[in-house]
A and B are shown apart, each in its own frame.
Chain A
Amino acid sequence: MISNTTKLTRENFPINPERATLEGQNKYLGFWFFLCGETVLFACLIGTYLALKNSYSTGLSSNELFEYPLILIATIFLLTSSLTSALAVYEMKRFKFVNMQLWFFITVLLGCSFLALEVYEFIHYVDKGFKFTTSPFSSSFYTLVGFHGAHVSFGILWFLTLMLRNAKSGLSLVNAPKYYLASLYWHFVDVVWVFIFTVVYLLGMVG
C-alpha cells in the first residue's frame, strides 16, 4: 500500500487505484451494494410497467407509439458511452490524467446526446396525445423511462462535477475511487437501458 506522502508517478501508481486505500475499498464496496439495491428498484419499475403495458385505455398502445430508428440510435449512443467510460478508466489505471478527462468528456457528450434524443422522443409522444396522465400504460412508461433518464442526468452531473473539481489537482488516490465509481454507475445505467430497450421497446413492437 502507498502512503499518503509518496509522490505518485506513472511507475508507482497502483493497477487498482480505486481500491488502494481503505477508504477506496469502502467506497467501492458500498457503491456496489447501492447498485444491488438499485437493481431491485428498477425491477419494481419494470414489473409495474409490464403489468400495465396493455392498459392503454383510450390512448395509444405501444405498437402505435414508438419511434424505432430514434431509439436504436439512442441505444447505440449509450452503449458507446459505456465503452468510452471504460477507456477512461483504462487511462486512469495508466495514470494518464488528461486522456482520462478527455474520455470522460466524450462519455458526457454521448450521454447528453442520449438525453437529448429522449427528451425529443417524450415531446414527440406528448404531441401525439400520449401524456403522463393519459392511461396506466402512459404513466408507467414515463415513470420507468423517466427514472432511467434521471439516472443518466445524474451520471452526467456527477462526471462533470468530478472533472471540474479535479481539473487542477490531477489524479490522486483520493479521487481515483470517485472517478471509478462514477464509471461503475454509468455502466449500471447502461445495463438498465439494455433491459428497458428489450422489454419496453422491442417487446412493444412484438405487441
Chain B
Amino acid sequence: MNDKKNTLNKQKLNKELKIQLLVFIVTLLLTVLAFVAVASEKFAPTFIAPFIVTLAVVQVIFQLYYFMHLKDKGNKEISIFLYGGLLIGVLTVIACLFIVWL
C-alpha cells in the first residue's frame, strides 16, 4: 500500500519535473521573442508595447502556476489574495500613468 503510494508520488513528481522543464524553455523563448521583436525595430510602438507586456504576463502566469505551484489544491485563499494584490497593483500603475498631470 505504502509502496504503491510512493511510486505514484514519484510518477507525479517526475511528470511535474517534465512540465517545469518545458515551461522553462517556453519562458526563455518568450523572453528572446520579446527582445527580438523590440530589437528588430520593424513594428510600431503602438503594437509592440501591448505585445511585449502580454508576453510578460504569459510568462508570469507560467511561473505562478508551475514554478510556484499556485495550481495545487488548497491554494484558494492564496489565489484570491494574489489577484487582489495584482488588481491593486494594476490600479496603482494606471493611476501613475494617466492621472498625474502628464
Q: Are B38 and A83 in contact (CB under 8 A)?
A: no
Contact in complex: A194, B60 (CB < 8 Å): yes
Residues of chain B lying within 8 A (CB to CB) of residue A207: 45
Query: Is A167's CB within 8 Å of the partner chain B?
Result: no
- Of residues 62 to 116 in A, which have CB atoms within 8 Å of B's CB atoms? 68, 72, 75-76, 79-80, 82-83, 86-87, 90, 93-94
Whether A203 and B52, one on each chain, are in contact in the complex, defined by CB atoms closer than 8 angstroms, is yes
User: What 0/1 pattern do residues 33 to 75 of B give for CB contact below 8 A with A?
Assistant: 0110011000001001100110110011001100110000011
Q: Which of A42, A47, A79 contacts B97 (CB 8 A)?
A: A47
Chain A 173-207 interface residues, beta-carbon cutoff 8 Å to B: 184, 187-188, 190-191, 194-195, 197-199, 202-203, 205-207
Please report the total number of B residues contacting A with Cβ < 8 Å. Answer: 52
Query: Which residues from chain A contact B90 at a C-beta distance below 8 Å?
Result: 43
Q: Chain A contacts of B85 at CB under 8 A?
A: 36-37, 39-40
Identify A82's interface contact among B38, B63, B93, CB under 8 A.
B63
Number of interface residues of A (CB under 8 A): 48
Contact with A along B14-40 (1 / 0, CB 8 A): 001100110010011001101100110
Least CB distance, B99 to chain A, in whole angstroms: 10
Q: Which residues of A contact B55 (CB under 8 A)?
A: 198
How far, in angstroms, from A83 to B16 measured CA to CA in the complex? Answer: 12
Q: Given contacts A36-B85, A43-B90, is CB(A194)–CB(B35) below 8 Å?
A: no
A190 neighbours in B (Cβ, 8 Å) = 63
A87, B20: Cα distance in complex, Å: 9
Closest to B56 in A: A198
Q: Contacts A32-B82, A194-B59; is A90 near B16 (CB within 8 Å)?
A: yes
The residues of A that contact B27 with a CB separation of less than 8 Å are: 79
Structural contact, A93 and B13, CB atoms closer than 8 A:
yes
A–B complex contacts, Cβ < 8 Å, 21 sampled: A15-B9, A32-B78, A39-B86, A43-B92, A44-B89, A47-B92, A47-B93, A47-B95, A47-B96, A68-B39, A72-B31, A72-B35, A82-B63, A83-B67, A86-B67, A90-B13, A187-B63, A187-B68, A194-B59, A198-B53, A207-B45
Within the assembled complex, what's the spacing in Å between the Cα atoms of A33 and B39?
37
A198 to B100, CA, bound (A): 22
Complex Cα gap A15–B48 (Å): 43
